[in-house]
A and B are shown apart, each in its own frame.
Chain A
Amino acid sequence: MSSVLLELNDLRVSYGKVEAVRGIHLRLEEGQIITVIGANGAGKTTLLSAAAGLLPSGGRASYRGQDLLRMTVEDRVEQGFCLVPEQRALFGDMPVIDNLLLGAFVRRRDKAFVRKSLDSVFEQFPRLAERQTQLAQTLSGGERQMLAIGRALMAQPRLLLLDEPSLGLAPTIVRDVLMRVRALRDQGVSILLVEQNARAALDVADYAYVMDTGEFVLEGPASGMAADPRVVATYLGGGVE
């Protein structure tokens, strides 16, 4: 029996007077990959930022039985709850290696832990090992994405939130990135994946939610969802055969 890691109940996010995300119910069990898909502007990134604590939100949310909304972003990170944001948020003027070492900031005193994490990240992303002295801002789009994920993995998180890992990447790299996501799950990391590239996301996820204008409009096991005409409709408009 797996246990519930993350649970959102009626989560709401407002920008000023406008409620951008409302009535979100989501359950993520340990060892699962959950994906939230939907067209651009549906509120996926807002939802993820709020879950990570970067935006204030209302409603209820729990993580490993604790009240998530009372925790700061940093508290969440200390508890193994890490976000890889859409803009990557790398330290551009610092070398790759420092970006990675800072990823393990909350465990910085445990040198053995940091070393092990670094070895493991380099093993998964050999390209980062090659470029470790290069400044982050000089990396290509794909490498930046690897670095962003690698940095989050340095803390050996329990739950990883990935926001549009395929953004701006060529199709072959997208496949590669999502294969790595699946590999992470096999190592015991639970994943909440937000993706616009629906087919790719559904391919790796266990369970999926479809978001449209701030709300979940559809949910179910990922396997059946790719063929669902309603999913196609949220992307390309109604009337698609």
Chain B
Amino acid sequence: MSLDIILILLVDGLSTGAIYLLAGLGFVLVFSVTRVIFIPSGDIAAFAALTLAAFQGRTVPGSIWLVAAMAGLACLAECSTLLRNGATRRIPRALLLYGVLPLIPCGIGLAIARQDVPEVLRILTTMALILPMGVLIDRLMLRPLAASSTLILFIVAIAAHYLIAGIGLIAFGPEGVRTTPILDGIISLSDSVVIPAQQLLMMIVALLLSLVFYLFFGRSMTGKALRATASNRVGARLVGIRPERAATMAYLIASGLAAIVGILIAPVTTMYYDSGFMIGLKASVGAIIGGMASYPITAIGSVFVGVLESWASFLASDYKEIIIFSAVIPVLIWRSFSVHRDGDEEIEEFA
């Protein structure tokens, strides 16, 4: 194997790793705040790609109707809960959060869909449209069972994935899409080694967003409130941090990251309505390496998964999924034998 190939594979791996890194950060964030393994984040990424592709093809993306329908259902669910608890004065706020805010980008999307608009506007509209999805999935499917065990929440997350991926087919159709690259062109490292600019963009965006992530959690009060909720739920409530709002914030951030993942990956990989599952699962490999808790280790793990994937595709492409999933085995073995002897967990009843 020549040095050139090694270099190409490395660059390819790092850019894929950048994608898993972004998705992995969202995974760990949502899990630490809500105890949910948010498998549908992959679907959200796929929907972002499909939405942008639809805009580029001058058609109305199915996600507009999907988000609008979910917003309507979420409004119904939230209002009926509030009415039952006699908290009528909070209804306007709920309608704003679950109804008006998600519908604004739907409206913009409808307006620009068939127009010649700058690419930036399309990307921003896609982001805005996809952003509420995590929050809406949470409100409709996860929150009603928020008090359940992690296992139940896990099944719910899986069911939610199959539900929205299935709906994705209806909304987007079965065709695969590729979007036009945000950055065109190539950068030559040597005569035989060229990097597509889009790949470079993926790495740069991942780096920048990691930095933003770091600053957000280290400096801002909202970021600290999220960390506090993950650190000690009771303590967080006792200083007035509402767990539902922390969850909403976590889902919002995770959806945002997923949307960026989708937009970045769509020019280099053909995306289908159900491509998200694999992205989500591979990102979760990184998150497992990070113990579902540590952001830096998750980041390193995700990049490792990306590099592993590009090597595996080159050397044994039929088995690349198997190779990637096998990467968790040593981590599991290591965790298995460092399990605390003092641990005790009781598992709730199903019935």
Chain A residues packing against B (C-beta within 8 Å):
52, 54, 70, 72-74, 77-78, 82-83, 85, 87-94, 98, 101-106, 108, 151-152, 154-155
If A74-B242, A78-B240, A151-B239 touch, whether A102 touches B234 (CB-CB below 8 Å) is no
170-226 of chain B: CB within 8 A of chain A? 221, 224-225
> In the assembled complex, which residues on chain B have CB atoms less than 8 Å from the CB atom of A151?
239
> In the assembled complex, which residues on chain A have CB atoms less than 8 Å from the CB atom of B235?
88-91
Q: Looking across the interface, which residue of chain A has its beta carbon closest to that of B235?
A: A89
Q: Does B92 contact A (CB under 8 A)?
A: no
Q: Looking across the interface, which residue of chain A has its beta carbon closest to that of B85?
A: A70
Partner of A74, one of B221, B228, B241: B241
Least CB distance, A74 to chain B, in whole angstroms: 5
Number of inter-chain CB pairs below 8 Å: 68
Q: Does B238 contact A (CB under 8 A)?
A: yes
A94 B231 Cβ-Cβ under 8 A: yes
A77 B240 Cβ-Cβ under 8 A: yes
A85 B238 Cβ-Cβ under 8 A: yes
Task: Give me the 8 closest cross-chain CB pairs, A-B, nearest first.
Answer: A89-B235, A77-B240, A106-B240, A91-B231, A73-B237, A89-B234, A105-B239, A108-B221
A160 to B198: give the CA distance in the assembly, Å.
57
Least CB distance, B155 to chain A, in whole angstroms: 25
> In the assembled complex, which residues on chain A have CB atoms less than 8 Å from the CB atom of B237?
54, 73-74, 77
A78 to B232: give the CA distance in the assembly, Å.
19
A101 B224 Cβ-Cβ under 8 A: yes
Chain B residues packing against A (C-beta within 8 Å):
86, 221, 224-225, 227-228, 231-232, 234-242
A54 B234 Cβ-Cβ under 8 A: yes
> In the assembled complex, which residues on chain A have CB atoms less than 8 Å from the CB atom of B241?
74, 102, 105
Q: Looking across the interface, which residue of chain B has its beta carbon closest to that of A93?
A: B231
> In the assembled complex, which residues on chain B have CB atoms less than 8 Å from the CB atom of A101?
221, 224
A155 B234 Cβ-Cβ under 8 A: no
Least CB distance, A110 to chain B, in whole angstroms: 12
A102 B225 Cβ-Cβ under 8 A: yes
> In the assembled complex, which residues on chain A have CB atoms less than 8 Å from the CB atom of B86?
70
Least CB distance, A83 to chain B, in whole angstroms: 6
B239 A77 Cβ-Cβ under 8 A: yes
A195 to B231: give the CA distance in the assembly, Å.
27
Least CB distance, B349 to chain A, in whole angstroms: 12
A91 to B232: give the CA distance in the assembly, Å.
6
A142 to B131: give the CA distance in the assembly, Å.
45
If A70-B86, A89-B234 touch, whether A94 touches B224 (CB-CB below 8 Å) is yes
Q: Looking across the interface, which residue of chain B has its beta carbon closest to that of A89?
A: B235
B232 A83 Cβ-Cβ under 8 A: no
Can you list 27 residue pairs at the A/B interface with Cβ under 8 Å?
Answer: A54-B234, A73-B237, A74-B240, A74-B241, A77-B237, A77-B239, A77-B240, A78-B240, A88-B235, A89-B232, A89-B235, A89-B238, A90-B232, A90-B235, A91-B227, A91-B231, A91-B232, A92-B231, A92-B232, A93-B231, A98-B228, A101-B224, A102-B239, A105-B225, A151-B239, A155-B239, A155-B240
Q: Looking across the interface, which residue of chain A has its beta carbon closest to that of B227?
A: A94
A78 to B240: give the CA distance in the assembly, Å.
7
A98 B238 Cβ-Cβ under 8 A: no
A154 to B224: give the CA distance in the assembly, Å.
16
B228 A91 Cβ-Cβ under 8 A: yes
> In the assembled complex, which residues on chain B have CB atoms less than 8 Å from the CB atom of A77?
237-240
A90 to B232: give the CA distance in the assembly, Å.
7
Interface core residue of B234, B235, B237 (most chain A CB under 10 Å): B235
B242 A72 Cβ-Cβ under 8 A: yes
Q: Looking across the interface, which residue of chain A has its beta carbon closest to that of B241?
A: A105
B232 A102 Cβ-Cβ under 8 A: no
A102 to B239: give the CA distance in the assembly, Å.
7
> In the assembled complex, which residues on chain B have CB atoms less than 8 Å from the CB atom of A106?
239-240
Q: Looking across the interface, which residue of chain B has its beta carbon closest to that of A75?
A: B240
Q: Looking across the interface, which residue of chain B has its beta carbon closest to that of A109?
A: B221
Q: Looking across the interface, which residue of chain A has its beta carbon closest to that of B86?
A: A70
**Other 20 A-B pairs with CB < 8 A, given A93-B227, A94-B231, A102-B241:** A52-B238, A54-B237, A73-B238, A77-B237, A77-B238, A77-B240, A88-B235, A89-B232, A91-B231, A91-B236, A101-B221, A102-B221, A102-B224, A102-B236, A104-B239, A105-B225, A105-B239, A105-B241, A106-B239, A152-B238
> In the assembled complex, which residues on chain B have CB atoms less than 8 Å from the CB atom of A92?
231-232
> In the assembled complex, which residues on chain B have CB atoms less than 8 Å from the CB atom of A98?
224, 228
> In the assembled complex, which residues on chain B have CB atoms less than 8 Å from the CB atom of A91?
227-228, 231-232, 235-236
> In the assembled complex, which residues on chain A have CB atoms less than 8 Å from the CB atom of B236?
91, 102
Partner of B221, one of A73, A85, A105, A152: A105
